[in-house]
Structure 1
Amino acid sequence: MSAQSRHPFVVAGYGIALLINNAVADGPLSAYKLVPRNAHRIIDWLFVVALFAGSFLLDVDQPTRTTLFAMAVAIIVIALTTNYTKKVFRQP
């Protein structure tokens, strides 16, 4: 039994979509500030639903299912501990 996936493009597709989501969100480390933080929060939870659905509904092998499930759990932890409010800095 191997830990390598026979379907690497499934995990790669989810990963690329997640990177794009983080790159365009209005955050301190984002490349392009196209998506407001409230929409980013909703998209994060949609990713969780998509990852859970993918881990149960897609016809993939067990390592891919486990990876998708672990990604969903990781995003849940990150989303629950993230402060989505915009930081306001006062001018001296």
Structure 2
Amino acid sequence: YDTVLNHHVVTLAEVLHQAGYRTYLTGKWHLGKASDGLPTARGYDHAYSLADAGADNFEQKPIAGLYDKADWTEDGKPATLPTPFYSSTFIV
């Protein structure tokens, strides 16, 4: 286990993308946060995702003090959460 989704693994999104499907992701992505490990680098056309575990449901911060800012990305770039924000409502 590499703690990230390594490049020896093909994602379902990569398979679908190669078959001509459009792929989207929103929500948690605890599979890597380096640029080549984000959803848009792994087959998703568009993605709004959270790379870190333990993020607050109402703000862009951790709940346990593990890091300074919850690492949300939009299409592979740093994202800012909308206001008001509640994670479950936003993801759905």
Pick the structure with greater CA Rg.
Answer: 1
User: TM-score if structure 2 supplies the norm length?
Assistant: 0.23
Tell me which protein shows more helix as a share of its residues: 1
Q: Which has the higher strand share?
A: 2
* Structure of greater relative contact order (alpha carbons < 8 Å, 6+ residues apart): 1
TM-score, normalising length: structure 1? 0.23
